[in-house]
Structure formats: C-alpha cells, structure tokens
Amino acid sequence: MTANIQSERFCLAIHTSEIHGNGLFAEQDIPADALIYESDEYTVTQVARYGSIQRTPTDHIMQKLLRWENHSCVPNTKLHFDGPNVQLIATKHILVGQEIACDYRQTEDSIPKPFQCNCGRCSGIIVK
C-alpha cells in the first residue's frame, strides 16, 4: 500500500514498513521540534482499540492518519494534546524516506494487544 498525504505542514506517505505492516513516512526532511501534523478530527472511544491513541485515562481516539504511526523504543516523534487537537511533533530531525514512529509506552496506560518489538534495544514484547 502506498498513499501520499499532504498535511498542512509536511508531505507524508503510507508505505510498507520494516517495523510492522504499513507505516507513516516523511516525504521531505522534517526539522527537530517541528509540528508535523495537527487535527481535531477523530472518533472518541472509551475502550483501547488496536490503532487508538489514549487521550485521557478514560478516552481513546481513532484518527485516520495517526493510526499508521508505528511504535519504536527509539522514537522520532511524540504525540501531544492541545485542547481538542492531537499534535504530532518531531523530537529529532527526520530525513526524507524515514519512518515516523512514536513510543506507545509514552501515551498508553494499556496496550490492547501485546506485540513483538524488533528494535533490538528492549525486551522485545511490548505489554502495558
């Protein structure tokens, strides 16, 4: 699967990922600390689901673009909520073609389905 996405700020694409399935990729260099993407368009659910992002202790969101962001124990982005908006922020310089990833352990109280992490820097199984 390949799809190109133009956020308000940066060109992104969905491609086959070496991390897992499909992932979100930079189609241009993104500087550290840049606001990559921001949206208030999402569905709220009270149950953690595959692809959801935890917003509060009781609310999770399903967001059409961010659902493609895979996990890494060495992430290059972080997720932040600013009022109703969910923001994707670069934590380091991201090169064109590089996969955009966050650390699920930083946003989730629980992971709906444990999974194998292949980063080589952790225990390998992500369960929370």
Q: What is the pLDDT of residue 41?
A: 95
Name the band, by pLDDT with cuts 50, 70 and 90, for residue 121: confident
pLDDT tens-digit map of 36-63: 999 999 999 998 888 899 999 999 999 9
Q: Are 96 and 79 in contact (CB under 8 A)?
A: no
pLDDT class of 90 with cuts at 50, 70, 90 = very high
Q: How confident is the model at residue 8 (pLDDT cuts 50, 70, 90)?
A: low
pLDDT at residue 13 above 90? Answer: yes
Whole-number pLDDT of residue 127: 61
Tokens 């930079």 — which residue?
Answer: 26
**Structural domains of the chain, ranges and CATH numbers in brackets:** 3-126 (2.170.270.10)
Strand 85-90 relative to strand 77-82, pairing: antiparallel
Query: Environment class of residue 68 by beta-carbon count within 10 Å: exposed (0-12), middle (13-18) or buried (19+)?
Result: buried
CB atoms inside a 10 Å sphere around CB 108: 17
Q: Higher pLDDT residue, 93 or 112?
A: 93
